[in-house]
Amino acid sequence: MRNCTVILKSRVAEYGLLRRSMMAFGEAQGYSSGFLGMLELTLKEAFVNAVMHGNHDSGELPVIVLFQVASAGKCLEVTVRDCGAGFRPDDLPDPTIPHLLLKTSGRGVYIMRRYAEIANVQTDSSGFSLTLRYTPF
């Protein structure tokens, strides 16, 4: 299995299904438990952002997650698509600056960037896509 698409309802409770799909895909690829843990952390952040900020908790709207093995198996690209207007990751403030340290939100993209490359962001008439690129181990 080199590609896998998961279509979910826009509800945070759907994350369990996404996690099970991610684990099955990752295990089929032979990814290490360390890599799968890191993938789980970043994927949860991306999914929750899509549900809350992209689809505004509207359970009728889908969140689509596409897993693609690329570069002859040397990288994994994960695209998370919602129905929102999108955002520019570079416009987000650094959550590590002193006056933001005590905020209880605003760290999702920062966490994603620690473990993955933001390979692409795209907005079109049907929504927003964020593609994360990983080097599996």
Domains and CATH numbers, the chain: 3-134 (3.30.565.10)
pLDDT higher than 90, residue 25? yes
The pLDDT value recorded for residue 72 is 81
Average pLDDT over residues 52-62: 94
The residue type found at 120 is N
The pLDDT value recorded for residue 98 is 78
Average pLDDT over residues 112-130: 93
The pLDDT value recorded for residue 30 is 94
CB atoms within 10 A of CB 74: 9
Q: Tens digits of per-residue pLDDT, 62-95?
A: 999 999 998 787 899 999 999 998 777 777 667 6
The pLDDT value recorded for residue 100 is 65
Q: Which residue has the higher pLDDT, 108 or 71?
A: 71
Q: Are 21 and 14 in contact (CB under 8 A)?
A: no
pLDDT higher than 80, residue 99? no
The pLDDT value recorded for residue 93 is 65
Q: Order of strands, edge to edge, in the sheet holding 127-134?
A: 3-9, 62-70, 75-82, 127-134, 117-124
Cβ neighbours of residue 109 closer than 8 Å, sequence gap 6 or more:
45, 49, 89, 92, 118
The residue type found at 59 is G
From the CA atom positions of the chain, what is the Rg in Å? 15
Residue 106: band (very low, low, confident or very high) from pLDDT cuts 50, 70, 90? low
pTM across the whole model: 0.88
